[in-house]
Amino acid sequence: MKQHITPEQLDELSKKGKKGLRKWCQAHPLQTGSMIIDDEIYYLLSIGQMVEFLGDDWWQYLFDECDGLPLYTNELCDCLWGDVKEILEK
């Protein structure tokens, strides 16, 4: 059961996206796994943290992006990450 993004998924972010993620993480202390990229600490977000990032309308992102609520945890984690990543890259 996948509950966090992977280091490979985190590495998909551009420098701009990573900067946005670090800023959000600094404002929301996290208790999760982390990794270091270019001497900076980045967090491997959990499903709950991605829901918090997306806000009260998190479920709408799933229905819009993933054609309904994913049935499997891996799909849920990956769909949420896709939405978080899209926001961070804007």
pLDDT tens readout for residues 8-45: 999 999 999 999 998 888 888 766 677 777 777 778 89
The pLDDT value recorded for residue 35 is 74
Q: Using alpha carbons, list the distances in angstroms from residue 72 to 9, 29, 41, 68.
A: 18, 28, 29, 12
Q: Classify residue 55 as left (phi > 0), alpha (psi -120 to 50) or beta.
A: left
pLDDT tens readout for residues 42-56: 788 998 899 999 999
Going by C-alpha positions, the residue among 71, 67, 58 that lies closest to residue 80 is 58
Interatomic CA distance for residues 84 and 47, integer angstroms: 11
pTM of the model: 0.82
3 state DSSP class of 66: coil
